[in-house]
Amino acid sequence: MINSEIQPDIENSRVEINNTAVRPPGFFKKVFGTYNLGDFIFERLTLLFAVLVFLLVILMGYEMYVGSKISIDKFGWSFLTNSVWDPVQEIYGALPIIYGTIVSSFLALVISVPLSIGIAIFLSEVSPGWLEKPLSFLVELLAGIPSVVYGLWGIFVLVPWIRTDVEPFLSEHLGFLPFFRGAPYGFGMLAAVLILAIMILPIVSSISRDILRSVPQSQREAALALGATRWQSTKIVLKDAKSGILGATMLGLGRAVGETMAVTMVIGNRAVISPSLFDPSYTMASVIANEFTEATSEMYLSALIQLALVLFVLTIIINAMAKLLVWSMERKLGTR
């Protein structure tokens, strides 16, 4: 009887002794803020990984700035406003290239965003369950296709179709507009716009679908309970999700601005500013991909690196804006 009463006290004493033995001394708590060495190492290690990502971005920007110092010293801000890109005469102006990048990306958004939002609405609001999953898989599959495959498809399928059917039709019926004048080459701004629209469509539609799904179901149920139709209920959901959809659009814009291989293979690659969608053009990514191996002089190489720096900064700004918009959407819904 006595042994049975003493035994629990002995076990408790053993546990206390063991805990005291493995606990770090008091100064560890004072210095590092915790008694658990494992938590301290894990927290600091993950913080190191996060800081490394930030430092990597800073290092990339610094290296590109150093590499483009020769071009920056010679051309300064005129690099962004000069319209002559002539490696033979060592004159480099990025304005036609920036123009081609912005116009092709913007027109691709104009085409793809309405289609993407329509796909997202169907998948999240209308589609039955048995159809939604395979359609979502197909949409996401488009996002995983390598850009060089899109480029080859553009060369052998899209460009011949544009040259023989699309451009003659547009020239005949809308030739009075400056956007649809010129010879039907097939290769040019129009081909780049269409292939970019196809490439960013799955990105915008997938993110928009997830944004629409994040809107609380109670919003839809409340609208339907008040007598709203399915379309009116969907309009309410779209109003709540508009900042998130805008963020998805900005992410698609970031993809379009930085796309290289597919655009390079169909845009025609000529540094000119032309209002016609039939004429060849250039983008920042395609210039770097085409001419980097041909840069035989320091100035030529420096100009290409400066162009990469401009593209780098532009991409960071676009993606930062997109993340801020998506974050504001999540915060808005989280407060409800």
pTM: 0.80
The type of residue at 18 is: N
Cα(19)–Cα(16) distance, integer angstroms: 5
Say whether pLDDT at 8 is over 70: no
218-251 pLDDT tens trace: 888 888 888 888 888 888 888 888 888 888 888 8
Categorize the per-residue pLDDT at 19 as very low, low, confident or very high, splitting at 50, 70 and 90: very low
Asked whether the beta carbons of 154 and 262 are under 8 A apart, the reply is yes
State the average pLDDT for the chain: 84
pLDDT average, residue stretch 287-291: 90
pLDDT average, residue stretch 301-320: 90
Categorize the per-residue pLDDT at 327 as very low, low, confident or very high, splitting at 50, 70 and 90: confident
55-113 pLDDT tens trace: 999 999 999 999 999 999 998 889 999 989 988 888 899 999 999 999 999 999 999 99
Say whether pLDDT at 336 is over 80: no
- 242 CB neighbour count, 10 Å cutoff: 13
Mind listing the domains of the chain with CATH numbers?
A: 2-56 (no CATH), 69-334 (1.10.3720.10)
Residues ≥6 apart with Cβ < 8 Å to 199: 108, 142, 147, 150, 255, 256, 259, 262
